Chain A
Amino acid sequence: MYEVIETINLSKNFQDFWGRTKAKALDRLNLKIYRGEIFGLLGPNGSGKTTTVKLLLGLLFPTSGKIKILGSSPRSVICKKYLGFLPEESYLYPYQNAQEALFFYGRLFGLSRSVCKKRVDDLLDMVGLGKARLRPLKEFSKGMARRIGIAQALINDPEVVFLDEPTSGLDPVGTREIKDLILQLKEHGKTVFLCSHLLSDVEDICDKIAILYGGKIRCEGTVGDLLSKKTATQILLEDIPAPLLQELTLWLQAKGIKPHVEKPRERLETFFLNIIQQARMQQAPTSGAMQGIKKEDFFSQNPLPEKKEVNPVLAQLVQTVQEEPEELDAIPQEKEEEKKETLSPAAKGVLEHLVTSPKEEKTEVQPPPVAKESKGKKDILQKLLGGFIKKEQS
């Protein structure tokens, strides 16, 4: 494992015409991203994510500090041969069609006409735009433009891929496909640097994340480490009958352990917001967006018209969420003593098998679910990534 991307005390100040500092976009950023990792950079608007990506790609120059991409400067033309970049918006030429656009980017990498043509065909099929290859890009929807953007980022079979909001504008199916694609890239040893506001996406696919606020890294680590609760032990049970659950609870209470029975679920979104909230509580400086008005305030200022009919499904969902904790904690206190010693051998067996600590869980963690791809698409991807695998083997 070696560092593919490394920043050392990277700082960026934006200056006016006279050289006076207008804003501090990045403040001594230190990152190390290893080969084959999917790294997610998170942060609210104006936190410095895009600035970081631009610095890593040589579009902006650092005020101080160092950047190393594959061991060399990000402005090195040789280094750029191994990079792929999908920007936040698909900055494509509206007068080109999909095929012309990909062919153009392929030729920029010095690919021969025949290789370029083959790659263009394969990539267009892979992103599902084979039939729209001759349509002008100005007629493309945002989702289609994103797909072409992804295709152009992979045209050179890159070693490192920078993806800025890769799933924005895509429909759920497209989003899943892109996430699968990113995981496939990882399987083939590529390094992915991902910026996204869609926390669920990041949570699903990233190995490591960093949260940026006010140009500083507030938190960094593996997703498993950051999201696990270190002061508690989680017992994962299959859906067991309520009496058995009650039996287990009483047994634990008898042992002096106070169980907290619920369906544990820590969302990255909550965690992310907590980090940002902490930073705001500390009044950390940022030139980005500040906290907006609370929802309650917003609605009180902009009252919605009274709804006569409530969506029954939504209403049911809301009710379930509210009721769930009550159901799980509904163990009468007076019966606790009685149930202390009444744990059956079956319940004991279940406990022995299912008690796991978060640390152990991490070692056995399964890879994020990969949607089953059609054979054709997998083949194309294999073909596209094949070149890289061969190179590695040789």
Chain B
Amino acid sequence: MSAILAIAFKVFQEVKKTKPALLLFFFVLLLLLLFPFTLKSDGTLQGQIQLFLSYSFLILSLALYSNSIFFTTLSFTSEIKGKQFYLIDCKSVARWQFFIGKFLGIALLNLFSLFCMGFILLMLVIYIKETQGTPEERQDVQEKIFTSYQGYLPYIPLEKLQAMVEKEYSKRKAENRLPSNIGEDEIKSQIKMQIQQQLQLIPQGYQRIWNFYDLPDGLRNTDQKIKLRYKVYISEAGSGFLCKVSWKIGRGANTYILEDKVKAGEYFEFTFPASTIDEKNSLEVHFLHKEEKSGMIYFPLEKGIELFYPYGSFYGNYIRALFLIYFLSCFLIALSLFASSFLTFPVAIFFGLFVLFLGLITPFLLEISPLSTHTQEMAWEKITDILSYSILQFSFFVVPDFFYYAPTESLSLGRYIEWKILGESILKLLFLRSALFTLIGCFLFRHREVGKPIM
């Protein structure tokens, strides 16, 4: 253990006394300090803080990710190239101990730098909140950003939906309208999506009701405010069109009614009292389409309407956000060590950056990949399909979706970052992916001839 700790501690010495790492640290710090004074938002305090949080977290996470790849690769490969590793390898240190020592050192270094930066950022956010804007704006920020909200999606009656899908499928089959080159599962999933989209369409003069079930016990008896977040699109009108909306929340005496005008294509939020929740901890939300100048109103399937209720503090959320970034950086450290265990510096760093890039565009890749459109039956038709399918499947298994774990949006919108996500990141990023890369890396490094042939 003392050998692992000695190697880990040496990483700190290395950083402390090497100028590039310190310069990078101060550059990121300067960038973060300058942000609040250079960014232009919509003029509101809420907008300014949201923009500041989004950009600074983006810079912070990208700096940490790229630095994890760069510094890990440099630190590992330079020891082999500079032959300092010869002296370590001749001591009673197993190679896996060297590997783990490096991982531990860089992971601790990341933890230290991330939390230093995170603390500075937090102080800046508090400073902006306390010194700028009107008292009302500050109150607004307190409610919308400095309180973290748990999100709820409306209930979807899956059995009913499935029955509708089966019926539609049978009907199309009877009418011989099924495409021949797509499998049954894929057709049914397309039909399901079409039906769900149809259900989100509201013609003029009609109303749509959503139900939110199983809300937390006792919430209705608190004086907390519940938030509804939504976005609408309007047919026969472009984005930016001002549309009249009419909401009725709850049933009976505890009903909250809102009439408002919103811009199409943008997110809007409004709050209402928790007393609108009924005795069964459910909430009924009615939307009435009263706009005469427009055609149908459409709520997008993805995050078209969401309910939020206060669940925790901003500070807890903030720490969880930092840990999410940290676990992603740990994954990148393990990946870079793995690459450095058998590759030279330029190749290993290219590999690390490529995986980072792949992780950042994963949502886009998933959208365009055969995994989302093809069924397995289709893919087996050609050898190339089999290959591409297998490579993609493997890539998505190995490379995590960075946006899935990215906390920036949740933090700036005041959404509660669930412990579940944090647990998932520990399990999938640390215990599964990082451990896998570390194991393979240790194995490869153990069998690597570090001595160079000099003849």
Taking CB atoms, residues of chain A closer than 8 Å to B16 are 95
Contact between A287 and B92, CB atoms less than 8 A apart: no
CA distance A83 to B7 in the complex (A): 19
Q: Which residue of B lies closest to A155 (CB)?
A: B91
A54 at the interface (CB under 8 A from B): yes
Pick the contact of B449 from A61, A96, A109 — CB < 8 Å? A61
- Distance in angstroms from B222 CB to nearest chain A CB is 55
User: Which of B84, B449, B450, B453 neighbours the largest number of chain A CB atoms within 10 Å of its CB?
Assistant: B453
Can you add 19 more A-B contacts, CB < 8 Å, to A59-B449, A80-B90, A84-B90? A22-B453, A46-B455, A50-B454, A51-B454, A57-B86, A59-B89, A59-B450, A77-B92, A91-B84, A91-B87, A92-B87, A93-B13, A93-B84, A95-B16, A105-B91, A107-B2, A108-B3, A108-B7, A108-B91
A107 touches B18 (CB 8 A): no
Q: Are B92 and A78 in contact (CB under 8 A)?
A: yes
* Mask of A120-139 contacts with B, CB within 8 angstroms, 1/0: 00000000000000001000
The CA of A110 and the CA of B7, in the complex, are separated in Å by 12
A-B Cβ contacts below 8 A, count: 97
Least CB distance, A391 to chain B, in whole angstroms: 16
CB of B92 within 8 A of CB of A108, answer yes
Distance in angstroms between the alpha carbons of A81 and B90 in the assembled complex: 9
Check B58 for interface membership: any CB of A closer than 8 A.
Answer: no
**Residues on B with beta carbons closer than 8 Å to the beta carbon of A83:** 90
B445 to chain A, nearest CB (A): 13
A166 at the B interface (CB under 8 A): no
Query: Which B residues lie within 8 Å of A22 (CB)?
Result: 453, 455
Which residues from chain A contact B2 at a C-beta distance below 8 Å? Answer: 107-108, 110-111
Are B6 and A108 neighbours in the complex by a CB distance under 8 Å? yes
**Distance (whole angstroms) from the CB of A287 to the closest CB of chain B:** 4
Bound CA span A60–B89, Å = 11
A104 interfacial by beta-carbon distance below 8 Å: yes
Determine whether the beta carbon of A108 is less than 8 Å from that of B93: yes
State whether A91 touches B89 (Cβ < 8 A). Answer: no
A71 contacts B by Cβ under 8 Å: no
Closest-by-CB residue of B relative to A46 is: B455
* A2 contacts the other chain (CB 8 A): no
A13 nearest CB neighbor, chain B only:
B453
Docked CA distance A184–B5 (Å): 34
Q: Is A87 an interface residue (CB 8 A)?
A: yes
Smallest beta-carbon distance A388→chain B, Å: 16
Contacting residues, chain B, for A110 (C-beta < 8 A): 2-3, 92
Residue of B nearest to A47 (CB): B455
Whether A85 lies near B455 (C-beta < 8 A) is no
Contact among B10, B14, B84, B449 with A60 in the assembled complex (CB-CB below 8 Å): B449
Asked if B171 is at the interface of the complex by the 8 Å CB criterion, the answer is no
What residues on B are CB-neighbors of A104 within 8 Å?
6, 10
A58 CB-CB contact with B under 8 Å: yes
* B residues near A287, Cβ cutoff 8 Å: 455
A residues bordering B, Cβ < 8 Å?
Answer: 14, 22-23, 25, 46, 50-51, 54, 57-61, 77-78, 80-81, 83-85, 87, 89, 91-93, 95-96, 100, 104-105, 107-111, 136, 152, 156, 162, 287-288
- Across-interface contacts of B449 in A (CB, < 8 A): 59-61
- Separation of A92 and B84 alpha carbons in the complex (Å): 6
Q: Quick one: CB contact mask for B83-104 with A, threshold 8 Å, 1 for yes?
A: 1101111111110000000000
Pairwise interchain contact B451-A59, C-beta atoms closer than 8 A: yes
Is B82 engaged at the interface, CB distance under 8 Å to the other chain? yes
Tell yes or no: B177 within 8 A of A by CB.
no
Q: Which 5 A-B pairs have the closest CB atoms?
A: A59-B451, A95-B17, A107-B6, A14-B453, A81-B92
Place the interface of chain B in its size category. Answer: 20 to 34
Residues of chain A with a CB closer than 8 A to B5's CB: 107
Flag if A156 contacts B91 (CB, 8 Å): yes
| Interface pair A25/B3, CB less than 8 Å apart | no
Q: Do the beta carbons of B92 and A54 come within 8 Å of each other?
A: no
CB distance from A122 to the nearest CB of B (A): 19
Contact with A along B57-96 (1 / 0, CB 8 A): 0000000000000000000000000111011111111100
* Cβ–Cβ contact A25 & B84, under 8 A: no
Contact A85 B92 (CB under 8 A): no
Complex Cα–Cα for A93 and B86 (A): 12
Q: Which residues of A contact B455 (CB under 8 A)?
A: 14, 22-23, 25, 46, 51, 287-288
A57 touches B91 (CB 8 A): no
The 24 listed contacts between A and B (C-beta, < 8 Å) are A14-B453, A22-B453, A23-B455, A25-B455, A50-B454, A54-B451, A57-B90, A59-B449, A60-B449, A77-B93, A77-B94, A80-B90, A80-B93, A85-B86, A87-B83, A91-B87, A93-B13, A107-B2, A107-B6, A108-B3, A108-B88, A108-B93, A110-B3, A287-B455
B-chain residues with CB within 8 Å of residue A14 when the two chains form the complex: 453, 455
A57 touches B84 (CB 8 A): no
Shortest CB distance A93–B (Å): 6
Give the docked Cα–Cα distance between A176 and B5 (Å): 38
Contact B91 A80 (CB under 8 A): yes
Q: Which residue of A lies closest to B87 (CB)?
A: A91
| A87, B93: Cβ atoms closer than 8 Å | no
Query: Chain B residues with Cβ under 8 A from A46's Cβ?
Result: 455
Q: How far is the CB of A5 from chain B (nearest CB, A)?
A: 14
Task: Report the minimum CB–CB distance from A83 to chain B (whole Å).
Answer: 6
B453 touches A23 (CB 8 A): yes
- A59–B92 contact, CB under 8 A? no
Instruction: List chain A residues, Cβ under 8 A from B84.
Output: 91-93
The interface residues of chain A lying within 8 Å CB-to-CB of B87 are: 85, 87, 91-92, 105, 152
CB distance from A73 to the nearest CB of B (A): 13
Which residues on A sit within 8 Å (CB–CB) of B91?
Answer: 80, 105, 108-109, 156
> What A residues does B6 contact at CB under 8 A?
104, 107-108
